[in-house]
Amino acid sequence: MDGLKPHHLNGIYKDIANDLGIDIALMIFNHYRGLQITFPTRLLCTEYVRRQVSIEYNGSNIKELSLKYSYSERWIRKMIVTEEKTKR
């Protein structure tokens, strides 16, 4: 498909080609065409976040951790309490 430009593509493929390049758009098309794909709102898995919060928590940085990992302060507190209980 020589000479193919992003404006030649349909819908989301055009957006992908504009943002990431025509080659990436073609790879996605070839691999996922016809599928309905929903992307999670969070990039990081929960277990990774749990480990990182456990490592980074200093006793007074719940707000910073909640902003960094896009979880509520309540969830971070609950995770810290659960982690402390398992260490006992």
In the three-class reduction of DSSP (H, G, I as helix; E, B as strand; rest coil), residue 78 is classed as: helix
Note the pLDDT of residue 71.
95
What 8-state DSSP symbol labels residue 59? S
When pLDDT is cut at 50, 70 and 90, the band that residue 86 belongs to is confident
Mean pLDDT of 53-63: 96
Q: What is the pLDDT of residues 66-77, one digit of tens each?
A: 999 999 999 999
Note the pLDDT of residue 2.
80
Is the pLDDT score of 87 beyond 90? no
- Phi, psi dihedrals of residue 13, rounded to the nearest 5°: -65, -35
Q: What is the pLDDT of residues 6-47, one digit of tens each?
A: 999 999 999 999 999 999 999 999 999 999 999 999 999 999
Note the pLDDT of residue 77.
96
